[in-house]
């Protein structure tokens, strides 16, 4: 903390940058004032500063020693036919008697050799039959209160918040499920601006834009002894661009913006409520826990960084009908501080959302 206070004490004029998402070594204090790396808060190294990171049917006739001459013609009116798979139908009426008379030495013993009817059912058809009336596809919209935070040595360097809008599509194929999402929003920025010598508090309404894409693939484990729940094994990827806008301090100094590009992979395991075969609305829950073992971050004014592994989690509660679904959900992702690369590093960072989802199932 003492080094930060010294850095603030030597503030000079110059172009500033929002936030301190990545730390950068200071310029020579004796050199002329110059524009700083856009939107990258720098605390002087060794304490660097950040940038705003069949069937066969039984025959009703005794197949013993049947003599045709002992058969008396039945009444003229016909009765419902008895059908044998793979053979013509012999009714109990006059027409069937004529057929028996013309059959010659027909042996009913041959019926014992009629093969049972068999059906070949594909695996996906079996799964669909077990799923009952549930819908295998869904389109949905999410509205979330979004929060992004960066911390260094218990000091909150960046605090961004706003509304994040998401549109998505999901589909189940057998025991697998695929989900894709597109999201974006404008966030209010609260943090710091910096030049080569000092940092000062800085905030800007709608100061940061987010635009990104997410894809997830899941394998569903449904033990037959589990009547209401199933296990989910999945892996996902979230990719987004964080654009910090240009701004200005009350003193008139220009704050230059910059961009960050993030790509993170996260495996997870979860449990969720199965779809009900009964009509009407049904309560459901879904929960998952996972890790963020691989993350790539590129700064438009600096280096490429690799924030270290953090955790992720998601909880969803809602009501599900035959066609529509409504729920509230909370999601959290975290990343630990990256290594220092040429004077830059990404502080410990976290993302949290809390909102609702409405889906149409078909």
How far apart are alpha carbons 140 and 237 in whole angstroms? 19
**pLDDT band for position 142 (cuts 50, 70, 90):** very high
DSSP state of 32: P
Q: How far is CA 229 from CA 130, 233, 275, in A?
A: 14, 14, 9
**pLDDT band for position 252 (cuts 50, 70, 90):** confident
pTM: 0.66
DSSP of 168-203, one letter per residue? EEEEEETTEEEEEEEEEEEEEEEEEEE-SS-EEEEE
Cis preceding-peptide flag for 46 (omega within 30 of 0)? yes
**pLDDT band for position 19 (cuts 50, 70, 90):** low
Asked whether residue 95 carries a pLDDT value surpassing 60, the answer given is: no
| Per-residue model confidence as pLDDT tens digits over 45-74 | 444 444 444 443 343 444 444 444 444 555
pLDDT value at residue 15: 47
CATH assignment of 9-53+135-361, given 3.80.30.20, 1.10.340.70, 3.90.198.10, 2.40.128.100? 2.40.128.100
Dig out the tokens for 25 from the structure.
């070594």
pLDDT value at residue 299: 95
Dig out the tokens for 136 from the structure.
């295998």
Dig out the tokens for 250 from the structure.
């009350």
Asked whether residue 340 carries a pLDDT value surpassing 70, the answer given is: yes
pLDDT value at residue 173: 95
Helix ranges (H only) for 67-118 are 94-102
Asked whether residue 198 carries a pLDDT value surpassing 90, the answer given is: no
| Per-residue model confidence as pLDDT tens digits over 287-319 | 999 999 999 999 998 889 999 999 999 999 999
Residue the block writes with tokens 């509304």: 163
CA–CA–CA angle 78, 81, 87 (5° rounding): 135
pLDDT value at residue 303: 87
**pLDDT band for position 321 (cuts 50, 70, 90):** very high
Q: How far is CA 28 from CA 44, 123, 173, 258, 283, in A?
A: 10, 70, 61, 23, 63
Evaluate whether 294 touches 311 at the Cβ level (below 8 Å). Answer: no
Q: Which residue has the higher pLDDT, 145 or 53?
A: 145
């Amino acid at each position: 903390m003492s080094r930060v206070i010294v850095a603030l004490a030597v503030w000079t004029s110059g172009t500033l940058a929002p936030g301190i998402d990545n730390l950068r070594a200071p310029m020579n204090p004796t050199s002329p004032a110059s524009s700083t790396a856009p939107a990258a808060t720098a605390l002087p190294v060794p304490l660097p500063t950040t940038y705003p990171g069949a069937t066969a049917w039984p025959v009703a006739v005794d197949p013993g020693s049947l003599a045709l001459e002992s058969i008396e013609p039945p009444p003229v009116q016909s009765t419902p036919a008895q059908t044998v798979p793979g053979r013509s139908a012999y009714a109990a009426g006059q027409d069937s008697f004529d057929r028996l008379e013309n059959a010659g030495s027909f042996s009913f013993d041959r019926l014992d050799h009629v093969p049972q009817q068999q059906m070949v059912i594909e695996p996906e058809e079996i799964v669909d039959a077990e799923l009952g009336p549930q819908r295998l596809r869904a389109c949905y919209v999410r509205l979330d209160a979004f929060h992004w935070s960066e911390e260094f040595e218990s000091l909150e360097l960046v605090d961004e918040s706003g509304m994040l809008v998401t549109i998505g599509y999901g589909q189940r194929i057998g025991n697998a499920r695929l989900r894709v999402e597109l999201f974006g929003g404008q966030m209010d920025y609260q943090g710091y601006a910096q030049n080569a010598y000092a940092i000062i508090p800085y905030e800007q309404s709608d100061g940061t834009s987010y635009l990104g894409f997410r894809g997830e693939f899941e394998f569903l484990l449904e033990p037959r002894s589990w009547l209401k729940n199933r296990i989910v094994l999945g892996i996902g990827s979230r990719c987004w661009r964080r654009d910090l806008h240009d701004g200005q301090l009350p003193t008139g100094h220009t704050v230059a913006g910059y961009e960050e590009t993030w790509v993170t992979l996260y495996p997870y395991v979860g449990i969720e409520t199965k779809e009900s075969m009964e009509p009407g609305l049904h309560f459901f829950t879904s929960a998952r826990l996972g890790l963020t073992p691989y993350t790539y971050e590129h700064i438009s004014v600096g280096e490429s960084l690799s924030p270290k592994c953090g955790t992720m989690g998601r909880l969803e509660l809602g009501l599900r009908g035959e066609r529509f679904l409504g729920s509230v959900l909370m999601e959290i992702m975290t990343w630990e501080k990256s290594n220092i690369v040429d004077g830059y590093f990404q502080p410990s960072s976290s993302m949290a959302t809390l909102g609702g989802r409405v889906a149409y199932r078909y």
